[in-house]
Chains A and B, each alone.
Chain A
């Protein structure tokens, strides 16, 4: 998705639309999961929309991102199609991963989206590698890793920041500090007040910003991108934000109370930004309503299409392992142990 010029009215409206598209997609996914419609686990991004949208607003369409297990928002922000995303959530053949990835692993390498990821902290090394490709090819291209506060406790995150810093790679490390690593609060997982202090150890710039403010995120990432393209290496950004839903859908959340959630909801990134645009005379309530209706219809259509779509054929389970297939896979697929068929 092309960058958004947040200095224009048009750009700001587009940022609001993208944030609302994420919110609508996630609300729908949550309902579908509760209704038993979706297989597997679902981790929602509601509350964090300003981070994904602010960050991608500052990226060019051919920049790379790596994502997390809470990746729907990053996918939508990067411009992925909600119909194919929904099909993937349903495990259908025309989903982004042909039904092999599901909610936690949506990817579109062509679009620079190197995958949502089921492993906490696994994205930053991949982003460092993508930044290395861009650096080696002399391209004006960056790789941005989204990762959560929980991931900052993972060793491979630090290894990849050190590598990118040492090699001066065009990488951006963006922590979405949503205050909880699964069900454990940030302060019980880290002995620092701000995760951006991490940057000091690698001698790179580190900032903590308001992750509920899409403009603040866009500005910070734009600055980081400029540094990266200039050859000045990576930047570490911590965006303070909040996860409205549980770690996963169905999480009974004994670790926090409604009061805390309500306090953060008062700073809702979409409401705040919408109000700002209304105050500036750039948007009316009626105009926002029509954005809502349009996007709600888009998501409804995505659900309808996903429900009607075909599931993958069972034999497709044996495809996509290799560019050049290993003969074993086809041979074993014929054996009774693998396909439940008749014994020989």
Chain B
């Protein structure tokens, strides 16, 4: 298994933002049941311009601006999905998911199960995560752990433009509820993206972004790129294998386990609070399956259970970077 790009045909260089927009454009063209809704997604183009010019091609019936009422429009997305629509709901900042939590946890996640499997729930919720914009605690959170933890929800978090496009397309085509967590500071990051409209990244399939022999680094979102840069810098010291799990739930344990069997060392880097988190899930699975393959204690890189503060000196202190990953690697080799 690898990035999957090797066999994906022609590619084009694009940013994460463009990749996400292309994913929506292609799926809106492909299926009339797909529509996009959220705050300012239409003429404004989305507060991070991800929906951009979609309204020009698809009009305001399919690119719907909503009132500022997350519980109302997320709930409408759930009701629309239960009746045959395929809504893509944008929640501007993941911090605002709290406002709509009832509809997510008790309706979206539970309806299929509680109805004995007799409904589908093809809703996609896109939202932005992460610090780095001096936006303080209510606009910088990384909360994907909550949703990956909650039964009945699939959760993905792309770290590259190709993953962004492929995962969003899979999310829209899926008959299950999928939440797409986009790190807002990598919207400008560029990479090669397959142009084939049938290119998708399966939910639950990790990508080996760089092969290496010495240390496995499982990195997500922004930390994928930073770790790849670090791997080149550190090439003389350690040969890093960098894995982007891409899908947090389901999680591709086997790809990570196989890598650990080879390297014997694991660092997990994810911009979320460390306690009870995404890191812990990866670590637990590897300890359960590959304890005897480990040559050193596993290390975690994340946020030290604080909120993301405003002042640049404070924010820079808490947000994990490639430097923190380097220190973690130093501890395992």
The 8 Å CB contact of B249, one of A105, A155, A320, A328, is: A328
Chain B residues with Cβ under 8 A from A125's Cβ? 71-72, 74-76, 78-79, 103, 107
- Answer yes or no: A311 CB below 8 A from chain B CBs: no
Determine if B151 and A321 form an interchain contact, defined as CB atoms under 8 angstroms apart.
Answer: yes
- Answer yes or no: B174 CB below 8 A from chain A CBs: yes
Chain A nearest CB, measured from B144 CB (Å):
15
Complex CA gap A328/B285 in Å reads 11
Chain B residues with Cβ under 8 A from A115's Cβ? 111, 114-115
Chain B nearest CB, measured from A240 CB (Å):
26
Determine if A129 and B78 form an interchain contact, defined as CB atoms under 8 angstroms apart.
Answer: yes
Complex CA gap A126/B73 in Å reads 9
Please classify how large the interface on chain A is, using the bins under 10, 10 to 19, 20 to 34, 35 or more.
35 or more
- Answer yes or no: B239 CB below 8 A from chain A CBs: no
Among A51-104, those with CB < 8 Å from B are 64, 66, 95-101
- Answer yes or no: A300 CB below 8 A from chain B CBs: no
Given A107-B115, A115-B114, A134-B83; A326-B72 close (CB under 8 Å): no
What residue in chain B is nearest A102 (Cβ atoms)? B114
Chain A residues with Cβ under 8 A from B71's Cβ? 125, 155-156, 159-160
Complex CA gap A109/B78 in Å reads 13
Complex CA gap A328/B203 in Å reads 13
Determine if A109 and B106 form an interchain contact, defined as CB atoms under 8 angstroms apart.
Answer: no
Chain A nearest CB, measured from B1 CB (Å):
15
What residue in chain A is nearest B73 (Cβ atoms)? A163
Determine if A130 and B115 form an interchain contact, defined as CB atoms under 8 angstroms apart.
Answer: no
- Answer yes or no: A285 CB below 8 A from chain B CBs: no
Q: How would you classify the secondary structure of chain B's contact residues: helix, strand, loop or mixed?
A: mixed
Complex CA gap A119/B102 in Å reads 8
Determine if A328 and B72 form an interchain contact, defined as CB atoms under 8 angstroms apart.
Answer: no
Chain B residues with Cβ under 8 A from A130's Cβ? 79-80, 82-83
Among B141-185, those with CB < 8 Å from A are 151-152, 154, 174-176
Determine if A321 and B112 form an interchain contact, defined as CB atoms under 8 angstroms apart.
Answer: yes
Chain B nearest CB, measured from A96 CB (Å):
7
Chain A nearest CB, measured from B115 CB (Å):
4
Determine if A129 and B80 form an interchain contact, defined as CB atoms under 8 angstroms apart.
Answer: yes
Determine if A320 and B67 form an interchain contact, defined as CB atoms under 8 angstroms apart.
Answer: no
Given A136-B85, A321-B152, A324-B176; A108-B78 close (CB under 8 Å): no
Determine if A319 and B117 form an interchain contact, defined as CB atoms under 8 angstroms apart.
Answer: yes
Given A159-B71, A322-B176; A136-B35 close (CB under 8 Å): yes
The 8 Å CB contact of B82, one of A126, A324, A327, is: A126
Among B73-96, those with CB < 8 Å from A are 73-85, 87
- Answer yes or no: A132 CB below 8 A from chain B CBs: yes
The 8 Å CB contact of A133, one of B84, B103, B118, is: B84
Determine if B76 and A162 form an interchain contact, defined as CB atoms under 8 angstroms apart.
Answer: no
Chain A residues with Cβ under 8 A from B154's Cβ? 322, 326
- Answer yes or no: B119 CB below 8 A from chain A CBs: yes
Given A162-B67, A162-B69; A97-B82 close (CB under 8 Å): no
Chain A residues with Cβ under 8 A from B151's Cβ? 321
Chain B residues with Cβ under 8 A from A160's Cβ? 71-72, 75-76
Encode B111-148 as 1/0 by CB contact (under 8 A) with A. 11111111111000000000000000000000000000
Determine if A133 and B85 form an interchain contact, defined as CB atoms under 8 angstroms apart.
Answer: yes
Chain B residues with Cβ under 8 A from A166's Cβ? 67
The 8 Å CB contact of B204, one of A128, A132, A163, A327, is: A327
Determine if B72 and A163 form an interchain contact, defined as CB atoms under 8 angstroms apart.
Answer: yes
Chain A nearest CB, measured from B273 CB (Å):
22
Complex CA gap A224/B61 in Å reads 24
Determine if B69 and A163 form an interchain contact, defined as CB atoms under 8 angstroms apart.
Answer: yes
Chain B residues with Cβ under 8 A from A109's Cβ? 82-83, 115, 118-119
- Answer yes or no: A299 CB below 8 A from chain B CBs: no
Determine if B79 and A126 form an interchain contact, defined as CB atoms under 8 angstroms apart.
Answer: yes
Complex CA gap A124/B152 in Å reads 22
27 of the cross-chain contacts (CB-CB < 8 Å) are A96-B118, A98-B117, A101-B115, A101-B116, A107-B114, A114-B79, A115-B111, A122-B102, A125-B72, A126-B78, A128-B79, A129-B75, A130-B82, A130-B83, A133-B83, A137-B84, A143-B79, A155-B71, A156-B75, A158-B72, A159-B69, A160-B75, A163-B67, A163-B76, A166-B67, A323-B120, A328-B249
A-B CB proximity, top 5 nearest = A129-B79, A125-B75, A159-B72, A98-B116, A320-B117
Interface residues of A (CB under 8 A from B): 64, 66, 95-101, 105, 107-110, 114-115, 117-119, 122, 124-134, 136-137, 143, 155-156, 158-160, 162-163, 166-167, 319-324, 326-328
